[in-house]
Amino acid sequence: MINESRLLAQFMDYVKIDSPSRHEGEMARRAAQALDAMGLEVVCDRAGESFGSDGFNVLARLPGEGESVLLTAHLDTVSPGCGIEPVLEDGVITSRGETVLGGDDKSGVCAILEAVQTILENDLPHRPAEILFTIGEECGLCGAKALHVSQLHSRVGFVFDASGSVGRMVVSAPGQLKIHAAVHGRKAHAGNAPEAGISAIQVMAKGIAAMNLLRIDAETTCNIGSIHADFATNIVPDLAQMTAEVRSRNAQKMAAQAAHMKACMEAACAQAGARLEWEEEVSYLAYCHGADAQPVAMASRALEAIGCAPRPEAGGGGSDANVLNQRGLCCVVLGTGMTDVHTTKESITVRNLTDSARLALALMTGE
Ligand SMILES: [Zn+2]
């Protein structure tokens, strides 16, 4: 029932629309127009203003019978993602090689749009559906964070935004915490009076050297991403800054790792008489759904109905699902077949595009 040639044409068209994070304006307008042209009620918000984007989240409602479901995908793409030229060869779509393809996440956007179109033109019985296209997913889930979730009627959601062929379901994902730290030492002339100074670089290095980093345990990781201090060699540096992240599927372990890192840095500062500034910010929280969770059960039934075996898996990254789960919905992330995402080798098969649309259709029309 899915119109594969229309779906493919729309995908090839949409990936050519430049929509790097914070510049999703045109793509958001096009998606809103497509939903409006199908006769859906469309609401555009002002989420872009919260993070310097010219775009907006697009929410549309398809009235129906039964319990409402949310189907969502994001409109932005990562860099290099401008001037994308899609190439179709032997059923596989790639970019020409200088950019990403942007199937992350326009595969999700197109699958959902094609499913809605199929319902409407065939007059298929369906449950109420909310279609949400977010912006700023790739730069920190900014669009989802700025969304007013109180306007959503659905309690169950499906995020069409995972790599892996159709059938893959990300049922758990880690949370992430960001750390910004600064060590304040004391400036002195490095040649004349070094003993009068406190080297912020040396203190920070001691603090870091005492930390457990990288793989902490099966569900927790940690990494320092930047260290910054830039002084002339004849000055004892009085400031060093760093950023780090901690990820864990367990919120307590995430907090414990951050506390451990802070304690290491505090001890190094105390020993040298330096002052520590330490900021922690939870980017998003972890989630974990069992097999009996409603979206897992619903997606499993829909996948079986379209002849794809459900493959529930643990994910390693954050997505809009983390934000939506944190804010009261129950969401899983579904594989759309995107492969090698965030690289210039990114690809997707036409088969997966079509299966994603069939899955979206089954979620709206199935039991
Ligand atoms: Zn994505």
Interval 203-218: pLDDT, tens: 999 999 999 999 999 9
Q: Could you tell me if 115 and 131 are in contact, meaning their C-beta atoms sit under 8 angstroms apart?
A: no
pLDDT at 261: 98
Question: For residue 143, what is the DSSP state?
Answer: H
Reduce the DSSP state of residue 149 to 3 states and report it: helix
pLDDT at 171: 96
- Tokens describing residue 16: 């050519």
For residue 287, which phi and psi values (nearest 5 degrees)? Answer: -145, 160
Q: Could you tell me if 163 and 228 are in contact, meaning their C-beta atoms sit under 8 angstroms apart?
A: no
Strand (E) or helix (H) holding 326: helix 320-326
pLDDT at 367: 72
Instruction: Quote the crossing angle between the two packed helices 350-365 and 103-122, to the nearest 10°.
Output: 50
Tell the burial category of 344 from Cβ atoms under 10 Å away from its Cβ (0-12, 13-18, 19+): middle
Please, what's the b/e burial string for 52-79 (b: 16 or more CB within 10 A of its CB; e: otherwise)?
ebebbbbbbbbebeeebbbbbbbbbbbe
Taking only the tens place, the pLDDT of each residue in 9-24 is 999 999 999 999 999 9
Question: Rounded to the nearest whole angstrom, what is the distance from the C-alpha of residue 104 to the centroid of ligand 1?
Answer: 5
Q: How many CA atoms lie within 13 A of 324 on its CB side?
A: 28
Catalytic residues: 76, 137
Which stretches of the chain score pLDDT less than 50? none
pLDDT at 316: 78
C-alpha distances in Å from residue 13, one per residue of 16, 27, 102: 5, 11, 11
pTM for this entry: 0.87
pLDDT at 317: 83
Question: Rounded to the nearest whole angstrom, what is the distance from the C-alpha of residue 137 to the centroid of ligand 1?
Answer: 7
Question: Rounded to the nearest whole angstrom, what is the distance from the C-alpha of residue 166 to the centroid of ligand 1?
Answer: 15
Length of the chain: 367
Question: Rounded to the nearest whole angstrom, what is the distance from the C-alpha of residue 126 to the centroid of ligand 1?
Answer: 27
Q: If you classify domain 175-284 with CATH, what class do you get?
A: alpha beta
Q: What order do you get walking across the sheet with 86-89 strand by strand? A: 86-89, 92-95, 347-349
Report d(CA 242, CA 60) in Å as an integer: 42
Question: Rounded to the nearest whole angstrom, what is the distance from the C-alpha of residue 138 to the centroid of ligand 1?
Answer: 7
CATH number of 4-173+286-365: 3.40.630.10
Question: Rounded to the nearest whole angstrom, what is the distance from the C-alpha of residue 224 to the centroid of ligand 1?
Answer: 24
Q: Domain segments of the chain: what residues?
A: 4-173+286-365, 175-284
pLDDT at 187: 98
Question: Rounded to the nearest whole angstrom, what is the distance from the C-alpha of residue 338 to the centroid of ligand 1?
Answer: 9
